[in-house]
Each structure stands twice: as C-alpha cells, then as structure tokens.
Amino acid sequence: MAMLEVNDIHTYYGNIHALKGISLTVEQGEIVTLIGANGAGKTTTLRTISGLLKPRQGSVVLEGEVISNIAAHDLVYKGIAMVPEGRGVFSRLTVAENLDMGAYSRKDKAGIQKDLDWVYSLFPRMAERRNQVSGTLSGGEQQMLATGRALMARPRMLLMDEPSMGLAPILVEGIFDTVKQINEEGTTILLVEQNATMALGVANRGYVLQTGEIVLSDTAINLQNNEMVQKAYLGID
C-alpha cells in the first residue's frame, strides 16, 4: 500500500474543470515530483491533496484512510504539511513566532524544541534572524522560513509548491540540497516545481501534467532521458 494514493480526482474552480482524472501514488520515503507548464494543474493537485480544495470526484487516500473530505487544518494532525507557493509567511510575526505557529498542533515541548534546533541547523540564517520580523526577510530567507514552519508540524508527508520560484540561481541549488536532506531524515516529499532539471535531479519518480491530466509518469532518470521532456521542460533540443 502506497503512503499516498490519489485516485481519479476531478477538481473544479467554479465551472472550470481544472483536474481531469488525476491519479498518482507516493511511496513512503520517496521524493516524487510533478512537472508541467503554468496552468497544468500542479498547484491544484497539491491544494486538493492538502484539503484546500475538495474534488467533485475521486479520492485522496493517506496510509489507507480516505482524507478527501477532511479540512486542511485537520490534515496537519494526520501528518501532512504544505510549503505553499509564494511562501505565505506571517509577515508581521518574527521568524521564531512563525516557527512556533508551525508547531500549533503539537503538545510535546521537548520534541518541539528538538525540531526547532533541527530547523535552525538546516537553516542557520533563521537562527541568526530569529527575532527579525519575517516580512523584512529576503525571498530566499522567506522560503527557508516557510519550509521550516512546515517541518515544525513534524509531517510524515511534506507537500512543496514551487520552492525555487523567484530565487536567485545561487540560492536554488541550496534549496534542493535541503529538500534531499529533509528526505534523508525520513520525510516523504511530493514536490511541485517548474525547474524540472533540479526537480528530476532530486526525485525518485515524476509525473508530467498537461492541462489537468497526467500525460507521462516514470522514474526521474527515465524522464530526464525522455525526448519530449527534454524538449518541453529541460531546454534540450
């Protein structure tokens, strides 16, 4: 049984049919990536899995339990956390207060402190700026903070939406090194990313989305060598 199963989901924005029968799986311990152009349905897929959107048809199953109708804030207790597109930090709160917010579902003080130390070790810049108001951080620093905040919920499944968006190239490699490190510490990751080269470089498997449908799925290595993927997403003629 896969850790996460998405079965034939159809999601709408009003009358707009955004997802047209998406099915995918994520095994425990994997990094799986969704790649595709703007408007392909990548973010909508994550928002449906995380409970922010409800599918009209199909199901989302986490470790054997159907979670399609569970509210987004309750899914945190089930072990799912999301790093949203655009970071979404609480701009008037400090770095430390944002990280505290990430642990709102937990009562284990010793465990929270241990994870806080871990987040600060992953992102030393956050430790240096723990008392700084997060709205004054750079884009890269806000991405670190958004990721750290999600990790403070101690998720078993981490959903990451465009972690490299808007970042300088020098910072992108560091973000993906961190993605690998988080995975190596035991967190399963479903990654949406327009930088297909970097995403396939860290993932085990991938799915290619076009206009709300999956058109290709394979191992990351095979996708890197696929002629259609190379031309459309990797910039290789």
Structure tokens at 186: 């035991």
Structure tokens at 51: 């409970």
For residues 193 and 37, give the distance between their C-alpha atoms in angstroms, rounded to a whole number.
Answer: 10
Read off the pTM.
Answer: 0.93
Res. 204: pLDDT tops 90: yes
* Phi/psi-derived region of residue 124, left when phi > 0, alpha when psi is between -120 and 50, beta in every other case: alpha
Per-residue tokens: 206? 């991938």
pLDDT digits (tens, 9 = 90+) for 143-199: 899 999 999 999 999 999 998 887 888 888 888 999 999 999 999 999 999 889 999
**How crowded is the C-beta side of 4, counted as CA atoms within 13 Å?**
29
In 3D, which of 180, 166, 172, 178 has the Cα closest to residue 197? Answer: 172
Chain region(s) in the chain for CATH 3.40.50.300: 1-39+52-79+155-166+186-237
Kindly report, residue by residue over 78-124, the tens digit of the pLDDT.
999 999 887 789 999 999 999 999 999 899 999 999 999 999 999 99
Match 């969704």 to its residue by tokens: 34
Eight-state DSSP code of residue 69: T
What does the angle CA 9 – CA 199 – CA 28 come to, to the nearest 5 degrees?
Answer: 60
Fold for the domain defined by 1-39+52-79+155-166+186-237: Rossmann fold (3.40.50)
